[in-house]
A and B are shown apart, each in its own frame.
Chain A
Amino acid sequence: GDSVTQMEGPVTLSEEAFLTINCTYTATGYPSLFWYVQYPGEGLQLLLKATKADDKGSNKGFEATYRKETTSFHLEKGSVQVSDSAVYFCALSDREASGGSYIPTFGRGTSLIVHP
Chain B
Amino acid sequence: DTAVSQTPKYLVTQMGNDKSIKCEQNLGHDTMYWYKQDSKKFLKIMFSYNNKELIINETVPNRFSPKSPDKAHLNLHINSLELGDSAVYFCASSPSRGNIQYFGAGTRLSVL
Contact = CB atoms under 8 A, between A and B. Distances in A.
Contact of A101 (B4, B50, B90): B50
B55 A96 contact: yes
Interface residues of A, number: 26
A55 to B, nearest CB: 14
B14 interface: no
B42 A99 contact: no
B45 interface: yes
Nearest to B98: A102
Interface residues of B, number: 28
A66 B45 CA distance: 24
A46 B92 CA distance: 12
Interface in A59-99: 87, 89, 93, 96, 98-99
A2 to B, nearest CB: 11
B43 interface: yes
B45 A104 contact: yes
The DSSP consensus for interface residues of chain A is strand
Contact of A109 (B43, B48, B90): B43
B99 A93 contact: yes
Given A46-B101, A111-B41, A99 B55 contact: yes
Of A49, A101, A103, A108, most buried by chain B (CB within 10 Å of CB) is: A101
Of A32, A49, A103, most buried by chain B (CB within 10 Å of CB) is: A103
Interface of A: 32, 34, 36, 38, 41-46, 49, 87, 89, 93, 96, 98-104, 106, 108-109, 111
12 contacts: A38-B41, A42-B106, A44-B103, A45-B102, A49-B100, A87-B41, A96-B56, A99-B50, A100-B97, A101-B55, A103-B45, A104-B101
